[in-house]
């Protein structure tokens, strides 16, 4: 208090000088705006005061969600549900919803004879590739949608890995390839670890680690530890094993015989996404490397080929600011240069070409393979499904699943002119794909994963009722992992993610609390499943995988009610 008193006294004593200094700065700013700068006409006409326009514009985005009505999701209540579920707190509302749902919407049918929640099956698993040599059983129908290491920070990927390992959450790698951070929870057997590059500890490194951990925190200690042992630009590509105190990363040059025969049980169930850039499975010339792919699949359960994404039907984009030495190492690209993947997948010139490549990957991995698309034309989907059915009739292998992404899907980096302008919304796209697969009698052979604006248990149940076997969620998991929806993810602007979740900025990343956020991501997943089972009990359904369109009613914005969903969609989509 004495210090504050002294400072205040000094300010009062010299207030004239402070005022004079302020006036002098304003005069200089006036001269600069009026007579020197030639970037903004507004400042020439309205020097100094015109800057308030840019100041308020800068404040608008970060403050939007606190004062404006929620317009992207149905209700701010849904956003609040995510944050509350992540904290694992009771998720009940009092009196009424804060922002009533309006417009057209699906309504869940209430059963005449409801079930108690303990009567709903605990088994929520979904089987992909039932006819493959190595099928994949996802413990729940919830999948963390594709978000790559690079788009997200290494720390965020580690948090998702913790949640995946602890709560049986299935993780999609995104197009940035499988990285060391996806193996964050791995505890290698050092007597059988020829597939790893191992860096053993030294007394000096141990001392630095203990001092850093005692005086500061674990992340600072690990930084000192890595520097003591490696001191190289890609030192963060090595994971620290808390048990053996070694650093490790995958040795991709090791013979495939030394790789694990089965996916290690201490890492999350992982879907490897292969994009047009072939990151993680390309050779030095950028061509597909079969052997590298087989090695990657020693850690992954199935493969998703990315043909298109809802928010952008172009190739993936990663700004140079996010292409660190680590990301360049993982993807096999130059450091600090923009990465713009080709629009077209190199093995998808035609539907036949794509299906041939799917079969090739199935033979190489012995595991399920599918692809991700955006739907904007029922006739195009009809032709694609017809080609798949033809292959089945010929005894050929067909995709094990199709992921359909909503035109409302999100992205860290997408052209504005494509966002929400190309592709049907989740339920419309789902209905088209489900209908076409049934029309050609192959629905029982192909699982559907659907994604787009799913946040809460009722969203997931409605999506599954519309035909999805599994539900992909990205933004909900981002929020559960600390995202405050500042919309500064791309890395192309002057601002970066303020919480260290979707940036490669080292200072921001250092603030990300990996263990805490990993726990909260897991809480969100657990509470999603818990909530879905509660909704199923009200519907009178014993297993959440048994929901279907008959459990839904649709009300349009004019108040018209459709108890038969098929009639509504036939009238709407004309298929």
Residues 286 and 341 in one domain: yes
Q: Which residues of 339-378 are buried (b: 16+ CB within 10 A; e: fewer)?
A: bebeeebbbbeebeebbebbbbbbeebebbbbbbbbbbeb
pLDDT (tens digit per residue) in 143-175: 999 999 989 999 999 999 999 999 999 999 999
Q: Is residue 504, in this structure, part of any structural domain at all? A: yes
Q: Which of 461, 129, 66 minimizes the C-alpha distance to 304? A: 129
Structure-token match 């994971």, residue found: 239
Q: Is residue 434, in this structure, part of any structural domain at all? A: yes
Last-in-domain residue among 263, 291, 324: 263
CATH number at residue 338: 3.20.20.70
CB within 8 A of 7, min separation 6: which ones?
none
Residues 259 and 169 in one domain: no
Q: Is residue 109, in this structure, part of any structural domain at all? A: no
Q: Is residue 324, in this structure, part of any structural domain at all? A: yes
Which pLDDT score, from 0 to 100, does residue 419 have? 67
Domain extent, residue 22, equals 2-67
Integer Cα distance of 127 and 13 in angstroms? 76
Residues 209 and 355 in one domain: no
Number of structural domains (the chain) is 3
Question: Does residue 311 carry a pLDDT above 60?
Answer: no
What the block records as the tokens of 413 is 């980096």
Q: Is residue 73, in this structure, part of any structural domain at all? A: no
Q: Which of 396, 402, 397 minimizes the C-alpha distance to 436? A: 402
Last-in-domain residue among 240, 263, 286: 263
Could you tell me if 429 and 375 are in contact, meaning their C-beta atoms sit under 8 angstroms apart? yes
Residues 278 and 216 in one domain: no
Residues 416 and 556 in one domain: yes
Q: What are phi and psi of 416, to 5 degrees?
A: -60, -35
Q: Is residue 139, in this structure, part of any structural domain at all? A: yes
Residues 8 and 38 in one domain: yes
Question: Does residue 351 carry a pLDDT above 80?
Answer: yes
Residues 61 and 204 in one domain: no
Q: Is residue 90, in this structure, part of any structural domain at all? A: no
CB within 8 A of 433, min separation 6: which ones?
375, 381, 385, 402, 404, 448, 467
Of 21-35, 45-59, 164-178, 474-488, the poorest mean pLDDT is in 45-59
Average pLDDT, the chain: 91
Residues 399 and 508 in one domain: yes
Residues 125 and 259 in one domain: no
Question: Does residue 474 carry a pLDDT above 60?
Answer: yes
3-state secondary structure of 149: strand
| pLDDT band per the 50, 70, 90 thresholds, residue 531 | very high
Number of helices (H), then strands (E), in the chain:
18, 18
Residues 194 and 169 in one domain: no
CB within 8 A of 334, min separation 6: which ones?
323, 328
Which pLDDT score, from 0 to 100, does residue 394 have? 97
Q: Is residue 416, in this structure, part of any structural domain at all? A: yes
Instruction: Count the Cβ atoms, other than its own, within 10 Å of residue 333.
Output: 18
pTM of the model: 0.90
Q: Which residues pair with 372 in a beta bridge?
A: 306, 403
Residues 489 and 344 in one domain: yes
Residues 163 and 296 in one domain: yes
């Amino acid at each position: 208090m004495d210090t504050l008193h002294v400072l205040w006294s000094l300010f009062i004593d010299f207030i004239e000088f402070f005022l004079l200094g302020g006036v002098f700065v304003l005069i200089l700013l006036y001269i600069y705006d009026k007579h020197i700068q030639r970037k903004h006409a507004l400042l020439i006409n309205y020097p100094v005061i015109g800057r308030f326009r840019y100041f308020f514009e800068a404040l608008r985005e970060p403050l939007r969600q606190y004062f404006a009505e929620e317009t992207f999701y149905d209700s701010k209540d849904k956003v609040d549900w995510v944050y509350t579920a992540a904290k694992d707190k009771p998720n009940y509302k009092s009196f009424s919803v804060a922002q009533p749902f309006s417009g057209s919407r699906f309504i869940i049918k209430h059963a005449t004879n409801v079930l108690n929640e303990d009567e709903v099956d605990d088994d929520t698993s979904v089987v992909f590739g039932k006819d493959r040599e190595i099928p994949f059983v996802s413990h729940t129908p919830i999948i963390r949608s594709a978000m790559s290491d690079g788009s997200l920070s290494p720390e965020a990927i580690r948090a998702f890995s913790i949640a995946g390992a602890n709560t049986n959450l299935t993780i999609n790698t995104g197009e940035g390839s499988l990285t060391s951070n996806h193996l964050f929870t791995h505890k290698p057997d050092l007597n059988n670890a020829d597939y790893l590059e191992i860096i053993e500890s030294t007394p000096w490194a141990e001392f630095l680690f203990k001092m850093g951990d005692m005086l500061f925190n674990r992340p600072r200690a690990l930084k000192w530890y890595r520097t003591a042992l490696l001191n190289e630009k890609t030192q963060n590509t090595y994971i620290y094993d808390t048990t053996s105190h070694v650093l490790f990363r995958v040795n991709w040059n090791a013979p495939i015989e030394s790789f694990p025969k089965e996916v290690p049980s201490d890492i999350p169930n992982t879907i490897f996404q292969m994009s047009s850039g072939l990151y993680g499975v390309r050779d030095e010339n950028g061509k597909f490397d079969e052997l590298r792919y087989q090695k990657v699949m020693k850690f992954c359960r199935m493969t998703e080929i990315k043909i298109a994404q809802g928010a952008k039907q172009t190739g993936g984009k990663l700004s140079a600011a996010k292409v660190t030495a680590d990301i360049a190492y993982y993807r096999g690209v130059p450091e600090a240069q923009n990465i713009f993947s080709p629009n077209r997948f190199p093995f998808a010139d035609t539907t036949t070409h794509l299906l041939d490549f799917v079969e090739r990957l199935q033979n190489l991995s012995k595991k399920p393979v599918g692809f991700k698309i955006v739907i904007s034309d029922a006739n195009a989907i009809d032709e694609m499904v017809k080609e798949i059915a033809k292959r089945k009739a010929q005894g050929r292998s067909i995709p094990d699943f199709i992921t359909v992404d909503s035109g409302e899907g999100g992205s860290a980096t997408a052209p504005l002119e494509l966002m929400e302008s190309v592709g049907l919304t989740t339920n419309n796209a789902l209905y088209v794909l489900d209908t076409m697969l049934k029309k050609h009698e192959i629905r029982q052979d192909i699982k559907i994963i659907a994604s787009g604006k799913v946040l809460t248990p009722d969203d997931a149940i409605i999506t599954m009722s519309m035909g999805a076997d599994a539900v992909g969620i990205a933004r909900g998991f981002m929020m559960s992992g600390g995202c405050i929806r500042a919309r500064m993810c791309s890395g192309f602007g002057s601002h970066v993610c303020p919480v260290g979740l979707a940036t490669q900025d080292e200072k921001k990343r250092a603030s990300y609390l990996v263990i805490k956020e990993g726990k909260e991501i897991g809480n969100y997943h657990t509470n999603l499943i818990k909530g879905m089972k509660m909704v199923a009990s009200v519907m009178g359904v014993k297993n959440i995988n048994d929901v279907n369109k008959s459990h839904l009613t649709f009300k349009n914005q004019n108040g018209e009610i459709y108890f038969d969903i098929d009639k509504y969609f036939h009238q709407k989509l004309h298929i």
